[in-house]
Copies of this chain bind each other. A is one copy, B any other.
Amino acid sequence: MTPWTETTVVGKPLPRVDAYERVSGSAVYAGDVSFPDMLHQAILRCPHAHALVKSVDTHAARTMPGVRAVLADADPEANMLLPYPSWIRNGPPMRLFDPHCRYAGEEVAAVAAETPEQAREALRAIVVQYQELPFVLDATEALKPGATAVHERGNVVRPPEVIQRGDVAKGLQEADAVVEGTYETSCEIHATMETLSSVARWDGDRLTVWESSQGVFDHQEYLAAALGLPLSSVRVICRYMGGGFGSKAELSKHTLIAVLLARKTARPVRSVLTREESFLCAGNRPPHTMTLKAGATKDGVLRAIDLEGVGVVGAYADDATGGFLATQLYACANVRVRETEVFVNAGKARAMRAPGFPQCAWALEQTIDALAEKIGIDPVELRLRNLPTSFQWTPPVPYSSMGLGQCLIEGARAFGWKEARERPRSSGPVLRGVGVAACMWPNPGGPPATAILRLFADGSLNLTTGVSDIGTGAKTVLAMVAGEELGIPLDRIQIEWADTATTPYAQVSGGSRTVINNAPAVRAAAVEIRRQLLEIAAEELKRPPGELVLKDGRVAPVDEPQRALPIPQLKGLQQRKVILAVGSRHPNPPKLGLPFGVHFAEVEVNTRTGEVAVTRFLAVHDSGRVMNRVTYENQVFGGVTMGIGFALTERRVLDRQTGRVLNANLHDYAIPTVLDVPADMTCLPIDPHDTECNTTGTKGLGEPAMVPTAAAVANAVYHATGIRVTRAPITPMQMLGLLAARGRRG
C-alpha cells in the first residue's frame, strides 16, 4: 500500500472532532472524574532542598475532620521502589517516601480525606522533623570534587555518552575557519494547562486509574510492575487531557499514592496537583551547557563538529543528553559529541517536547550562524552547502525524503530573507534583525500500533485506538484517515481512545510519532473494512468486488453508477450488523522518513529596555503530507510559541539560599501569551511526496516545530545587535547588560 496520490478528506483544514466537548466544558478530564464516595488526596512535601527525615508524626492528622487515611513512613509501602520508565537505565533507587529528601518538593506523606480542603488542612497537622543537609543546585558546583553528593554514587548520573565518527581533530585542522562558543539553556517547565491529575479506584484486586496520561499502556505497565499485578488487572484510561509535552509520558508518584490510598480506604481517590506542585515535581527540560567547536572550509563545507555538553537531571535519573542533533543535521565527516549528566538538589527532569534538541539547536545553530559570518557566506547558503544525504549512521541509512534544502530555499523566498538581511537594522533605539535556524527529528515511528474500526449497519463508524490525544488533534487526523478511505463524514465517526481495557495497543503519544504510527494502522483497518463491504455488496450487485467502488457512502459497479446501493441498504450488512476490522502499522521500511524544518525570525531589540520582541516568524517544515491544515498550524504555532518562551522568558528560578523554586506559578514563570508572539506568524508546509516513509506519506511534526525557534531568535538578535547571546532565555536584564558592555545601550 502506497500513500494516496489524491485525497478528498485528508489535508483539509477541518475542525477537531472533539471541539464541542473541549470548548463546552463537557469534556471529562481525569480531574473531572467523580464518584459519590470519592476521597481527595493531598501530599506533604519536603520544604528543604536536601534533608533527612528524622520522624513523621501523623497522629494529630489522623483525627482531623474528614480524614480517612494517612500514608507515611510507617506504612509498608513507604519504602517501595518505583520503576523508572523504560528509557532510563540504571537510575539510583527512587522510593515512594525516601527518608533522604533530595529536593524541595519531594513527597514525605499523604492524606486522603472527604474534601480537598480537609486533606490539605490535615497536612498541616503532620509534624516532620528534618535534619537539613547542604545542597547543590548547579552542575559546576555538583561536579567539583568534594561536592555535596545527591546520591551515594556521586553526582554524575552515568559515564559520559559519546557519539563519534571520523576524526574531529583532523577535521578542525582541515578547516579554514573555526568557531567556538559555550551555550547555556535554562530549566524550562512543561507548564501544561491541566496539571497532573488522576483518580484511582479498586474493584477487589482490580485497579482502574483515570489519568492525564500520554500513554495509558505505559502507565499500565508501570502500575502493574509497582504493585505486582498482572497487566490485565490494571486499567488505565485517559479521556481528555490538557497538554503533556512529555511530563505525562511517565506515571507520576502522586498517582501511585492515590492508588495506595484508594486500596487503604477501599474508596476511589482523586489527586489533582496544584499549579505549584506541578512546577516542583512534574518534570522539566533539563538545563544544558554545551561547548561547541565547528570548522568549515572557505567554500563552506563543514569539516568538524565537536560538542562537549553537560545536562542537569535534577534529583533523580533522567535523560539529559541533547547533542544528537549535532550529529545529524548537517553532512559532516568528523563529529564528536560527549555529554555528562549531573544530579543536583532540584526537581527531576523529564522528556520535554523534543528532549535535548532545542538546547542543542540553541548551540549548534548559533555556531553555524557564527561560522557563516566568519567565512562570509549567507547562513541559508552555508546550510544548503551541507545538506545531509542520508542518516549518518554505521552504515548510513538513506532517507525516503529529505526536504531540508527545499525548506531553506522556499522559506527564504517566502520570508523575503535576502531583502530582510540587507534592510537597515535600526530605527531609533530599536534594532531590527532576522535570523534562521534549522532542525531535524530522528523518529520515523514504527510498530506496534493497532486500530480497530467497526462499521455499523447504517454506515456510521466507530474508531478505536489506544492513542492519547494530548491536544494535537490526533483523534481528528485518525478519523480523517478512516473518512478518506471509506467516504464517511467525520460527524458519523465516533472515536474511542486510550483505555487499556478496551482499546488496542498504542505507544506513548510522544516522539512526534502518534500520527505516523497510528494513521497507517487506521488506514489498514479501513482498507479491510472496504474489502469486506465490497464482498458483501458483490453478492447483492452480482458483480465481483474488484468491479465495485465505494464512494460517498454508496457502493456501485464502476461502470454502472446508477446501480449504486447506499451502505444501509446492503442486506448482508444488516445481517452482520457490524463489520469489524483490525489494522496494524507495518514494519518500518528500509529507508528512513524523518522530518526537517527551518525557522525564520525577525526581532526588534529595544536598546533602552533590553526587551526583545519577535515581530515576524515563518516556520517551514518538511513533515511530509499535511494531514489537516488546521491541526498542522496549531502544532507549528504552538511549537513556535513554546520556542519563543524558551528563547526569551521561561526559566525556573531556584533560590540560592534555600534551594526552593521561587517562581512556581504562572505569574512569575512567564510562558508567552498571545501578546508575546508575532501577529505575523506563518507556516509553510513542504511536502516532498514521500511514498516510502509509511502508507500515509506523513512524517512527525510536534517536536520539530519547536526545535529551531530559539536559535532563530538568537541569530536574529545577533543580526540586529551584533551580540551573540549564548545564555537562554534572553531576558531584558541580560540583554541590557550585554548591550551596555558593548556600549550599545540606547
Q: Which residues of A contact B (CB under 8 A)?
A: 20-21, 24, 26-27, 34-36, 202-206, 217, 224, 230-233, 235, 447-448, 450, 452, 454, 456-462, 464, 491-494, 496, 499-505, 575-578, 580, 582
Contact = CB atoms under 8 A, between A and B. Distances in A.
Nearest to A201: B26
A235 B24 contact: no
Contacts of A505: 454, 576-578, 580
Contact of A231 (B202, B452, B458, B502): B458
Contacts of A20: 203-205
Contacts of A502: 464, 496, 499, 502-503
Contacts of A464: 501-502
20 contacts: A26-B202, A26-B203, A27-B203, A34-B36, A230-B458, A230-B491, A231-B456, A232-B456, A232-B460, A232-B492, A232-B494, A233-B492, A233-B494, A235-B494, A454-B505, A494-B501, A499-B502, A502-B502, A502-B503, A505-B578
B450 A580 contact: yes
A492 B217 contact: no
A460 to B, nearest CB: 4
B203 A21 contact: yes
A233 B27 CA distance: 16
A488 to B, nearest CB: 9
A457 B36 contact: no
Contacts of A36: 34
Given A26-B204, A457-B231, A504-B580, A448 B575 contact: yes
Given A205-B491, A224-B458, A464-B502, 19 more contacts: A21-B204, A26-B204, A34-B34, A34-B36, A217-B577, A230-B460, A230-B492, A232-B461, A447-B576, A448-B575, A452-B452, A454-B505, A462-B500, A462-B501, A496-B502, A504-B578, A505-B577, A505-B578, A505-B580
Contacts of A204: 20-21, 24, 26
A582 B206 CA distance: 24
A500 B464 CA distance: 11
Contacts of A580: 450, 504-505, 582
A588 to B, nearest CB: 13
A400 to B, nearest CB: 23
Nearest to A462: B232
Chain A contact residues: helix, strand, loop or mixed:
mixed
A224 B232 CA distance: 33
A233 B462 CA distance: 9
Contacts of A224: 458
Nearest to A20: B204
3 cross-chain pairs, A with B, having the tightest CB-CB distances, nearest first: A232-B460, A502-B502, A20-B204
A450 B579 CA distance: 10
A201 to B, nearest CB: 9
A205 B489 CA distance: 15
A673 to B, nearest CB: 29
Max count, chain B CB within 10 A of own CB: residue among A232, A492, A496: A232
Contacts of A504: 454, 578, 580
Nearest to A24: B204
Nearest to A26: B203
A115 to B, nearest CB: 13
Nearest to A501: B496
A266 to B, nearest CB: 8
Nearest to A458: B231
Nearest to A206: B494
Contacts of A230: 456, 458-460, 491-492
B232 A577 contact: no
A455 to B, nearest CB: 9
Contacts of A454: 504-505
A575 B502 CA distance: 20
A448 B36 CA distance: 38
A195 to B, nearest CB: 19
Contacts of A26: 202-204
A183 B494 CA distance: 52
A503 B504 CA distance: 12
B232 A493 contact: yes
Nearest to A503: B502
A448 B231 contact: no
Contacts of A499: 502
Nearest to A220: B456
Contacts of A496: 501-502
A443 B67 CA distance: 56
Contacts of A452: 452
A578 B232 contact: no
Contacts of A494: 206, 232-233, 235, 501
Contacts of A35: 34
A183 B450 CA distance: 59
Contacts of A202: 26
Contacts of A21: 203-204
A570 to B, nearest CB: 14
A448 B24 contact: no
Contacts of A460: 230-233
A578 B493 contact: no
A229 to B, nearest CB: 9
A506 to B, nearest CB: 9
A203 B32 CA distance: 14
A205 B493 CA distance: 12
Contact of A582 (B458, B500, B582): B582
A265 to B, nearest CB: 13
A183 B391 CA distance: 87
A511 B24 CA distance: 43
A335 B437 CA distance: 90
A270 to B, nearest CB: 12
Max count, chain B CB within 10 A of own CB: residue among A34, A204, A233, A491: A204
A79 to B, nearest CB: 24
A217 B454 CA distance: 13
A458 B229 CA distance: 10
A578 B501 contact: no
A686 to B, nearest CB: 33
Nearest to A231: B456
A555 to B, nearest CB: 18
Contacts of A233: 460, 491-492, 494
Nearest to A504: B580
Max count, chain B CB within 10 A of own CB: residue among A454, A462, A576: A454
Contacts of A578: 217, 448, 450, 504-505
A500 B224 CA distance: 28
Nearest to A505: B578
A271 B350 CA distance: 46
Contacts of A217: 577-578
A49 to B, nearest CB: 39
A594 to B, nearest CB: 22
